[in-house]
Amino acid sequence: MLFEIGEQIRQERKKRKLSQARLGELLGMSRTTIGQIENGTVQDVGIRKLIRILEILDLELRVRLAGSPPTLDELREEDDLL
């Protein structure tokens, strides 16, 4: 799950033409931490840090039951990526 979140963060950051270093500056985090979050290898990321990253990138975190089928919006988003 962290890998998927990190991948979405990476895609949005690149879409906005922000470097990892610049995003880190905006958040008061190191470039290394941003890279680890994007790769899903960060050892410990607090929910507040994650929410701050998502806010800067105008993203949101959604919670749903495991194994639930995708929503219509999620299917449309997937289709847009292809």
Instruction: Report the CATH number at residue 43.
Output: 1.10.260.40
For residue 82, pLDDT over 90 is answered with: no
pLDDT digit string (tens) for 33-74?
Answer: 999 999 989 888 888 999 999 999 999 988 888 888 888 887
How many domains does the chain divide into? 1
Alpha carbon distance 21, 35 (integer Å): 9
Is the pLDDT higher at 81 or at 25? 25
Alpha-carbon span 31 to 39, nearest angstrom? 12
CA distance 49 to 78: 26
Residue 75: the pLDDT is 83
pTM: 0.79
Q: Hey, what are 50's tokens?
A: 């994650």
- Better-predicted residue by pLDDT, 76 or 32: 32
Flag whether pLDDT at 17 surpasses 80: yes
> What is the domain range of residue 35?
2-81
